[in-house]
Amino acid sequence: MDNQSSLSEFHWIMNMVQTIDAGLVVLDKDLKVQLWNDFMSNHSGVSAKDMQDTPLFSHFPELPEAWLRSKIDSVFLLKNNAFTSWEQRPYIFRFNNYRPVTGISEFMFQNMTIIPLASLTGEVTHVSLIIYDVTDIAINRLQLDKANEKLAHLSQTDALTQLANRHHWNTLIDSEFKRVKRYEQISTLMMLDIDHFKKVNDTYGHVAGDKVISEVSRVIRESVRETDFSARYGGEEFAICLTNTTASCAVILAERLRKAIESTLVLDDGNVIQVTISIGIAEFKADVESVDHWTKNADSALYKSKESGRNQYSIL
Ligand SMILES: Nc1nc2c(ncn2[C@@H]2O[C@H](COP(=O)(O)OP(=O)(O)OP(=O)(O)O)[C@@H](O)[C@H]2O)c(=O)[nH]1
Protein backbone atom coordinates (compact mmCIF):
# COMPACT_ATOMS: atom_id res chain seq x y z
CA MET A 1 0.00 0.00 0.00
CA ASP A 2 1.50 3.37 -0.97
CA ASN A 3 1.71 6.35 1.32
CA GLN A 4 -1.20 8.09 -0.36
CA SER A 5 -3.63 5.19 0.09
CA SER A 6 -2.56 4.43 3.67
CA LEU A 7 -3.06 8.12 4.47
CA SER A 8 -6.55 8.07 3.01
CA GLU A 9 -7.29 4.81 4.86
CA PHE A 10 -6.16 6.45 8.09
CA HIS A 11 -8.38 9.40 7.27
CA TRP A 12 -11.57 7.39 6.87
CA ILE A 13 -10.79 5.20 9.87
CA MET A 14 -10.45 8.40 11.93
CA ASN A 15 -13.74 9.58 10.46
CA MET A 16 -15.45 6.41 11.68
CA VAL A 17 -13.79 6.63 15.09
CA GLN A 18 -15.01 10.19 15.47
CA THR A 19 -18.59 9.62 14.37
CA ILE A 20 -19.34 6.15 15.76
CA ASP A 21 -22.24 6.07 18.24
CA ALA A 22 -20.06 4.98 21.17
CA GLY A 23 -17.50 6.76 23.29
CA LEU A 24 -13.87 6.10 22.37
CA VAL A 25 -11.05 7.24 24.62
CA VAL A 26 -7.38 6.32 24.26
CA LEU A 27 -5.17 6.73 27.32
CA ASP A 28 -1.42 6.40 27.66
CA LYS A 29 0.31 4.83 30.64
CA ASP A 30 0.02 8.08 32.64
CA LEU A 31 -3.72 8.02 31.90
CA LYS A 32 -3.40 11.09 29.74
CA VAL A 33 -5.97 11.35 26.97
CA GLN A 34 -4.66 10.66 23.46
CA LEU A 35 -7.99 10.31 21.70
CA TRP A 36 -11.41 11.66 22.62
CA ASN A 37 -14.05 11.12 19.96
CA ASP A 38 -17.13 13.17 19.07
CA PHE A 39 -19.43 11.03 21.23
CA MET A 40 -17.32 11.93 24.28
CA SER A 41 -17.11 15.63 23.33
CA ASN A 42 -20.84 15.89 22.66
CA HIS A 43 -21.92 14.23 25.89
CA SER A 44 -19.28 15.69 28.21
CA GLY A 45 -19.20 19.19 26.74
CA VAL A 46 -15.38 19.03 26.80
CA SER A 47 -13.68 19.19 23.40
CA ALA A 48 -11.01 16.81 22.15
CA LYS A 49 -8.62 19.79 22.02
CA ASP A 50 -9.10 20.49 25.73
CA MET A 51 -8.71 16.82 26.63
CA GLN A 52 -5.64 16.16 24.49
CA ASP A 53 -2.61 15.09 26.56
CA THR A 54 -4.23 15.95 29.88
CA PRO A 55 -4.93 13.48 32.70
CA LEU A 56 -8.42 12.00 32.42
CA PHE A 57 -9.22 12.27 36.13
CA SER A 58 -8.39 16.00 36.37
CA HIS A 59 -11.37 16.74 34.07
CA PHE A 60 -13.86 14.40 35.67
CA PRO A 61 -13.50 14.36 39.45
CA GLU A 62 -16.77 12.42 39.72
CA LEU A 63 -15.21 9.38 37.98
CA PRO A 64 -14.76 6.37 40.30
CA GLU A 65 -10.99 6.90 40.18
CA ALA A 66 -9.62 4.11 42.41
CA TRP A 67 -11.91 1.52 40.81
CA LEU A 68 -11.25 2.65 37.24
CA ARG A 69 -7.49 2.91 37.80
CA SER A 70 -7.31 -0.66 39.05
CA LYS A 71 -9.34 -1.87 36.03
CA ILE A 72 -7.03 -0.01 33.63
CA ASP A 73 -3.89 -1.20 35.47
CA SER A 74 -5.02 -4.81 35.12
CA VAL A 75 -5.55 -4.35 31.36
CA PHE A 76 -1.99 -2.95 31.00
CA LEU A 77 -0.64 -5.81 33.10
CA LEU A 78 -2.61 -8.80 31.78
CA LYS A 79 -3.03 -7.50 28.22
CA ASN A 80 -6.64 -8.71 28.32
CA ASN A 81 -9.92 -6.90 27.72
CA ALA A 82 -11.95 -5.84 30.73
CA PHE A 83 -15.68 -5.32 30.68
CA THR A 84 -18.05 -3.54 33.05
CA SER A 85 -21.82 -3.59 32.91
CA TRP A 86 -24.42 -1.01 33.93
CA GLU A 87 -25.80 -3.60 36.34
CA GLN A 88 -22.58 -3.40 38.35
CA ARG A 89 -22.20 0.36 38.06
CA PRO A 90 -24.95 2.28 36.21
CA TYR A 91 -22.52 4.69 34.57
CA ILE A 92 -18.81 5.52 34.32
CA PHE A 93 -19.04 9.06 32.93
CA ARG A 94 -21.93 11.07 34.38
CA PHE A 95 -23.56 12.03 31.10
CA ASN A 96 -27.14 13.24 31.01
CA ASN A 97 -29.84 10.94 29.76
CA TYR A 98 -31.75 12.72 27.02
CA ARG A 99 -34.54 10.15 26.78
CA PRO A 100 -38.06 11.45 27.38
CA VAL A 101 -38.69 11.57 31.14
CA THR A 102 -38.68 8.02 32.45
CA GLY A 103 -38.33 8.76 36.13
CA ILE A 104 -35.82 5.92 36.33
CA SER A 105 -32.56 7.79 35.84
CA GLU A 106 -31.40 11.21 34.78
CA PHE A 107 -28.04 9.74 33.72
CA MET A 108 -27.00 7.68 30.71
CA PHE A 109 -26.56 3.99 31.58
CA GLN A 110 -23.26 2.69 30.22
CA ASN A 111 -21.39 -0.51 29.56
CA MET A 112 -17.66 -0.19 29.08
CA THR A 113 -14.94 -2.29 27.49
CA ILE A 114 -11.29 -1.53 28.10
CA ILE A 115 -8.95 -2.97 25.48
CA PRO A 116 -5.15 -3.06 25.50
CA LEU A 117 -3.47 -1.32 22.53
CA ALA A 118 -0.10 -2.80 21.66
CA SER A 119 2.70 -1.05 19.77
CA LEU A 120 4.48 -2.74 16.85
CA THR A 121 6.87 -4.36 19.36
CA GLY A 122 3.95 -5.98 21.22
CA GLU A 123 4.26 -3.77 24.28
CA VAL A 124 0.95 -2.43 25.61
CA THR A 125 1.53 1.31 25.61
CA HIS A 126 -2.08 2.50 25.60
CA VAL A 127 -5.57 1.36 26.47
CA SER A 128 -8.84 2.24 24.82
CA LEU A 129 -12.07 2.75 26.74
CA ILE A 130 -15.19 2.07 24.71
CA ILE A 131 -18.32 3.51 26.28
CA TYR A 132 -21.69 2.15 25.11
CA ASP A 133 -24.94 3.99 25.76
CA VAL A 134 -27.24 1.22 27.02
CA THR A 135 -29.92 3.49 28.48
CA ASP A 136 -32.75 1.96 26.42
CA ILE A 137 -31.84 -1.58 27.42
CA ALA A 138 -31.36 -0.64 31.08
CA ILE A 139 -34.63 1.29 31.30
CA ASN A 140 -36.57 -1.55 29.65
CA ARG A 141 -35.02 -4.03 32.05
CA LEU A 142 -35.67 -1.86 35.13
CA GLN A 143 -39.26 -1.23 34.03
CA LEU A 144 -39.75 -4.95 33.47
CA ASP A 145 -38.28 -5.71 36.91
CA LYS A 146 -40.64 -3.14 38.45
CA ALA A 147 -43.65 -4.57 36.62
CA ASN A 148 -42.70 -8.10 37.69
CA GLU A 149 -42.31 -6.97 41.30
CA LYS A 150 -45.75 -5.34 41.13
CA LEU A 151 -47.28 -8.46 39.60
CA ALA A 152 -45.67 -10.66 42.25
CA HIS A 153 -47.05 -8.36 44.95
CA LEU A 154 -50.53 -8.37 43.39
CA SER A 155 -50.56 -12.14 43.06
CA GLN A 156 -49.65 -12.53 46.74
CA THR A 157 -51.88 -9.85 48.24
CA ASP A 158 -55.57 -9.79 49.06
CA ALA A 159 -57.04 -6.69 47.45
CA LEU A 160 -59.51 -5.77 50.21
CA THR A 161 -57.18 -6.17 53.18
CA GLN A 162 -53.68 -5.70 51.73
CA LEU A 163 -52.70 -8.78 53.75
CA ALA A 164 -51.16 -11.87 52.20
CA ASN A 165 -53.79 -13.97 50.40
CA ARG A 166 -54.46 -17.60 51.22
CA HIS A 167 -52.23 -18.87 48.43
CA HIS A 168 -49.24 -16.83 49.62
CA TRP A 169 -49.99 -17.75 53.23
CA ASN A 170 -49.73 -21.44 52.31
CA THR A 171 -46.22 -20.84 50.93
CA LEU A 172 -45.11 -18.81 53.94
CA ILE A 173 -46.51 -21.14 56.61
CA ASP A 174 -45.13 -24.15 54.78
CA SER A 175 -41.58 -22.84 54.91
CA GLU A 176 -42.02 -21.70 58.53
CA PHE A 177 -43.25 -25.18 59.45
CA LYS A 178 -40.22 -26.78 57.79
CA ARG A 179 -37.89 -24.33 59.58
CA VAL A 180 -39.28 -24.97 63.08
CA LYS A 181 -39.55 -28.71 62.53
CA ARG A 182 -36.00 -29.10 61.26
CA TYR A 183 -34.27 -26.78 63.71
CA GLU A 184 -36.60 -27.36 66.68
CA GLN A 185 -37.43 -23.70 66.84
CA ILE A 186 -40.30 -21.84 68.47
CA SER A 187 -43.21 -20.41 66.52
CA THR A 188 -46.86 -19.71 67.27
CA LEU A 189 -49.86 -19.75 64.99
CA MET A 190 -52.87 -17.58 65.67
CA MET A 191 -56.28 -17.81 63.96
CA LEU A 192 -58.69 -14.86 64.33
CA ASP A 193 -62.34 -14.62 63.39
CA ILE A 194 -64.71 -11.67 63.57
CA ASP A 195 -67.61 -12.44 65.94
CA HIS A 196 -71.16 -12.58 64.62
CA PHE A 197 -70.03 -11.16 61.34
CA LYS A 198 -73.07 -12.51 59.52
CA LYS A 199 -75.14 -10.09 61.63
CA VAL A 200 -72.97 -7.16 60.45
CA ASN A 201 -73.69 -8.08 56.83
CA ASP A 202 -77.35 -8.70 57.50
CA THR A 203 -77.81 -5.44 59.42
CA TYR A 204 -75.61 -2.99 57.49
CA GLY A 205 -75.03 -4.70 54.14
CA HIS A 206 -72.00 -6.23 52.45
CA VAL A 207 -70.29 -2.92 51.68
CA ALA A 208 -70.27 -2.07 55.39
CA GLY A 209 -69.11 -5.63 56.09
CA ASP A 210 -66.19 -5.14 53.71
CA LYS A 211 -65.31 -1.91 55.49
CA VAL A 212 -65.20 -3.77 58.81
CA ILE A 213 -62.95 -6.49 57.34
CA SER A 214 -60.66 -3.81 55.95
CA GLU A 215 -60.45 -1.98 59.33
CA VAL A 216 -59.75 -5.18 61.26
CA SER A 217 -56.97 -5.94 58.75
CA ARG A 218 -55.49 -2.49 59.21
CA VAL A 219 -55.26 -3.11 62.97
CA ILE A 220 -53.59 -6.48 62.30
CA ARG A 221 -51.12 -4.97 59.81
CA GLU A 222 -50.18 -2.23 62.26
CA SER A 223 -49.84 -4.58 65.24
CA VAL A 224 -47.64 -7.42 64.03
CA ARG A 225 -43.86 -7.35 64.02
CA GLU A 226 -41.91 -7.21 60.78
CA THR A 227 -40.69 -10.75 61.37
CA ASP A 228 -44.27 -12.06 61.77
CA PHE A 229 -46.54 -12.66 58.84
CA SER A 230 -50.28 -12.45 58.53
CA ALA A 231 -52.94 -13.24 55.97
CA ARG A 232 -56.59 -13.15 55.18
CA TYR A 233 -57.26 -16.84 55.65
CA GLY A 234 -60.87 -16.78 54.52
CA GLY A 235 -63.83 -14.37 54.37
CA GLU A 236 -63.61 -12.88 57.88
CA GLU A 237 -60.93 -15.13 59.21
CA PHE A 238 -57.29 -14.15 59.59
CA ALA A 239 -54.07 -15.99 60.37
CA ILE A 240 -50.92 -14.67 61.99
CA CYS A 241 -47.66 -16.52 62.49
CA LEU A 242 -45.43 -15.18 65.24
CA THR A 243 -41.95 -16.48 64.57
CA ASN A 244 -39.63 -17.20 67.50
CA THR A 245 -42.50 -16.54 69.88
CA THR A 246 -44.06 -18.84 72.49
CA ALA A 247 -47.81 -19.09 73.02
CA SER A 248 -47.51 -17.28 76.34
CA CYS A 249 -45.79 -14.33 74.60
CA ALA A 250 -48.31 -14.46 71.73
CA VAL A 251 -51.00 -13.75 74.33
CA ILE A 252 -49.66 -10.18 74.60
CA LEU A 253 -50.37 -9.57 70.90
CA ALA A 254 -53.69 -11.42 71.12
CA GLU A 255 -54.88 -9.17 73.93
CA ARG A 256 -53.56 -6.05 72.19
CA LEU A 257 -55.43 -6.99 69.02
CA ARG A 258 -58.60 -7.94 70.85
CA LYS A 259 -58.71 -4.61 72.71
CA ALA A 260 -57.75 -2.53 69.65
CA ILE A 261 -60.47 -4.10 67.50
CA GLU A 262 -63.07 -3.89 70.26
CA SER A 263 -62.43 -0.14 70.52
CA THR A 264 -62.34 0.51 66.76
CA LEU A 265 -65.44 2.25 65.48
CA VAL A 266 -66.24 1.72 61.81
CA LEU A 267 -68.35 4.48 60.32
CA ASP A 268 -70.60 3.61 57.40
CA ASP A 269 -73.48 5.62 56.02
CA GLY A 270 -74.23 7.25 59.38
CA ASN A 271 -73.92 3.95 61.26
CA VAL A 272 -71.27 3.23 63.85
CA ILE A 273 -70.26 -0.42 63.72
CA GLN A 274 -68.32 -2.11 66.46
CA VAL A 275 -67.07 -5.69 66.29
CA THR A 276 -65.05 -8.07 68.41
CA ILE A 277 -62.79 -10.98 67.49
CA SER A 278 -62.16 -14.44 68.84
CA ILE A 279 -58.65 -15.85 68.76
CA GLY A 280 -57.12 -19.33 68.82
CA ILE A 281 -53.46 -19.76 69.66
CA ALA A 282 -51.33 -22.86 68.98
CA GLU A 283 -47.60 -23.02 69.59
CA PHE A 284 -45.62 -25.39 67.38
CA LYS A 285 -44.88 -28.61 69.31
CA ALA A 286 -42.61 -31.50 68.31
CA ASP A 287 -45.63 -33.77 67.80
CA VAL A 288 -47.18 -31.42 65.20
CA GLU A 289 -46.94 -33.43 62.00
CA SER A 290 -48.00 -30.98 59.32
CA VAL A 291 -49.22 -27.47 58.61
CA ASP A 292 -52.77 -28.86 58.57
CA HIS A 293 -52.26 -30.37 62.01
CA TRP A 294 -50.86 -27.08 63.35
CA THR A 295 -53.77 -25.14 61.80
CA LYS A 296 -56.31 -27.57 63.27
CA ASN A 297 -54.81 -26.97 66.70
CA ALA A 298 -55.22 -23.19 66.30
CA ASP A 299 -58.75 -23.71 64.93
CA SER A 300 -59.69 -25.85 67.96
CA ALA A 301 -58.48 -23.07 70.24
CA LEU A 302 -60.51 -20.56 68.19
CA TYR A 303 -63.59 -22.80 68.53
CA LYS A 304 -63.05 -22.85 72.29
CA SER A 305 -63.02 -19.02 72.34
CA LYS A 306 -66.28 -18.96 70.37
CA GLU A 307 -67.85 -21.55 72.66
CA SER A 308 -66.78 -19.67 75.78
CA GLY A 309 -68.56 -16.47 74.74
CA ARG A 310 -66.35 -14.86 72.01
CA ASN A 311 -64.21 -11.67 72.30
CA GLN A 312 -61.38 -13.63 73.91
CA TYR A 313 -58.37 -15.81 73.15
CA SER A 314 -57.72 -19.46 73.96
CA ILE A 315 -54.53 -21.49 73.83
CA LEU A 316 -54.26 -25.10 72.79
N1 LIG B 1 -68.96 -8.33 53.65
C2 LIG B 1 -68.29 -9.46 53.54
N3 LIG B 1 -68.75 -10.56 54.17
C4 LIG B 1 -68.09 -11.71 54.07
C5 LIG B 1 -66.90 -11.79 53.33
N6 LIG B 1 -66.42 -13.06 53.43
C7 LIG B 1 -67.29 -13.75 54.22
N8 LIG B 1 -68.28 -12.94 54.62
C9 LIG B 1 -69.43 -13.28 55.48
O10 LIG B 1 -69.01 -13.55 56.79
C11 LIG B 1 -70.00 -14.32 57.45
C12 LIG B 1 -69.37 -15.32 58.32
O13 LIG B 1 -70.38 -15.89 59.09
P14 LIG B 1 -70.23 -17.16 59.99
O15 LIG B 1 -69.00 -17.94 59.56
O16 LIG B 1 -71.52 -17.89 60.03
O17 LIG B 1 -69.86 -16.66 61.41
P18 LIG B 1 -70.21 -15.34 62.19
O19 LIG B 1 -71.51 -14.74 61.83
O20 LIG B 1 -69.01 -14.44 62.08
O21 LIG B 1 -70.31 -15.89 63.64
P22 LIG B 1 -69.17 -16.47 64.55
O23 LIG B 1 -67.93 -16.68 63.71
O24 LIG B 1 -69.69 -17.76 65.08
O25 LIG B 1 -68.94 -15.46 65.64
C26 LIG B 1 -70.91 -14.89 56.35
O27 LIG B 1 -72.15 -14.24 56.40
C28 LIG B 1 -70.16 -14.53 55.07
O29 LIG B 1 -71.05 -14.25 54.01
C30 LIG B 1 -66.43 -10.61 52.66
O31 LIG B 1 -65.41 -10.59 51.98
N32 LIG B 1 -67.16 -9.48 52.79
Q: How far, in Å, from the CA of 219 to the mean position of ligand 1?
A: 18
Specify the range with the lowest mean pLDDT, choosing from 164-168, 183-187, 251-255: 183-187
Residues 83-105 have pLDDT tens digits of 999 999 999 999 988 776 566 67
For ligand 1, which residues put their CB under 6 angstroms from it?
A: 193-198, 201, 206, 209-210, 213, 235-236, 306, 310
13 and 49 share a domain? Answer: yes
The pLDDT value recorded for residue 3 is 77
**Ligand 1 centroid – CA 176 distance (Å):** 28
Tally of domains within the chain: 2
Print the domain residue range for 81. 3-142
Q: 80 pairs with which residues across the strands?
A: none
Q: Please tell me whether residues 220 and 256 are part of one structural domain.
A: yes
Q: Is the pLDDT of residue 7 over 90?
A: no
Grade residue 268 by pLDDT with cuts at 50, 70 and 90.
confident
Positions marked active-site: 236
* Residue 67's CATH number: 3.30.450.20
Which pLDDT score is estimated for 34?
A: 96
Specify if 148 maps to a domain. no
Report pLDDT for 310.
96
Residues 6+ apart with CB under 8 A from 208: 200, 201, 266, 268, 269, 271, 273
In the reported structure, the alpha carbon of residue 202 is separated from the centroid of ligand 1 by a whole-number distance in angstroms of: 10
**73 and 161 co-located in one domain:** no
Q: So what's the pLDDT on residue 227? A: 87
Note the pLDDT of residue 134: 95
Mean pLDDT of 15-23: 91
137 and 185 within one domain: no
Ligand 1 pocket: which of 236, 299, 304 to mutate (most atoms <8 Å of CB)?
A: 236
